[in-house]
């Protein structure tokens, strides 16, 4: 009786281990399928945020993908050794497995985190994802909006808004009234004049 119980317990443990391995394999295969669909620039951005222990294997996988793409151009479908080896090593790395969310964002596990654009670093991921370097495009849209409001309403000083903007010549505005045209001509003439001390 005891031997049968021990055998049943061992079988259940083996089943649990295989299930865990299958879930890890499924997650990794999902990740590799997602990496296949990315452009080379997007892959570089993904590699910036990967965990250090996994970055090497992902790079090997991407190199194998590039070799496969060149083989496809030459009408050769030859599986490369790098892809198979990287998948095998990635599936063995259970400790370095990282989160794969539903929004297809890869979250790293090892601090410090660095911004690839400006080099800003922090021990937490949130300030790196939310600092001003990633919000430049949105901020510029807001500045354009405030400048156009300055042309439309008399309560706002359009010249003061235009002086604070880095590239005032890029701003497009709607020409509805003659007063707005006159105001724009005055402001643009003042901006074209040389700066005086």
pLDDT block averages, 10 residues each, the chain of length 197: 61 54 63 71 71 65 60 49 51 41 45 68 77 56 61 56 66 57 61 55
Read off the DSSP letter of residue 195: P
| Domain membership of residue 146 as a residue range | 111-197
Which uninterrupted H or E stretch holds 106? strand 106-107
**CA 106, CA 160: separation in Å to the nearest integer?**
43
pLDDT for position 43 = 72
Does residue 124 share a domain with residue 72?
Answer: no
The token duo for 9 is 């317990």
Does residue 97 share a domain with residue 124?
Answer: no
Given 88, 107, 126, which residue is the final one in a domain? 107
Does residue 103 share a domain with residue 123?
Answer: no
pLDDT for position 122 = 79
Does residue 127 share a domain with residue 102?
Answer: no
Does residue 165 share a domain with residue 82?
Answer: no
pTM score, whole prediction: 0.23
Given 90, 107, 124, which residue is the final one in a domain? 107
Q: Count of domains in the chain?
A: 2
Does residue 127 share a domain with residue 93?
Answer: no
**Are the C-beta atoms of residues 51 and 108 closer than 8 Å to each other?**
yes
Half-sphere exposure of 141 (CA within 13 A, CB side): 3
Count of CB atoms situated within 10 Å of the CB of 167: 9
Does residue 68 share a domain with residue 146?
Answer: no
pLDDT for position 124 = 80
């Amino acid at each position: 009786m005891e031997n049968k119980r021990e055998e049943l317990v061992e079988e259940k443990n083996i089943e649990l281990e295989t299930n865990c391995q299958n879930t890890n394999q499924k997650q990794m295969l999902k990740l590799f399928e997602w990496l296949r669909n990315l452009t080379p620039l997007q892959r570089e951005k993904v590699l910036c945020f990967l965990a250090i222990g996994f970055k090497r294997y992902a790079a090997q996988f991407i190199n194998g993908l590039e070799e496969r793409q060149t083989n496809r151009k030459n009408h050769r479908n030859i599986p490369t050794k790098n892809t198979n080896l990287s998948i095998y090593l990635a599936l063995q790395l259970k400790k370095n497995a990282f989160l794969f969310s539903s929004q297809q964002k890869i979250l790293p596990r090892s601090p410090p985190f660095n911004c690839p654009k400006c080099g800003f670093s922090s021990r937490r991921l949130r300030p790196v994802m939310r600092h001003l370097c990633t919000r430049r495009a949105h901020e510029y849209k807001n500045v354009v909006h405030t400048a156009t409001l300055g042309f439309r309403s008399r309560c706002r000083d359009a010249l003061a808004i235009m002086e604070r903007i880095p590239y005032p010549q890029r701003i497009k505005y709607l020409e509805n009234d003659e007063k707005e045209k006159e105001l724009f001509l005055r402001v643009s003439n003042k901006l074209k004049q040389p700066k005086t001390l």
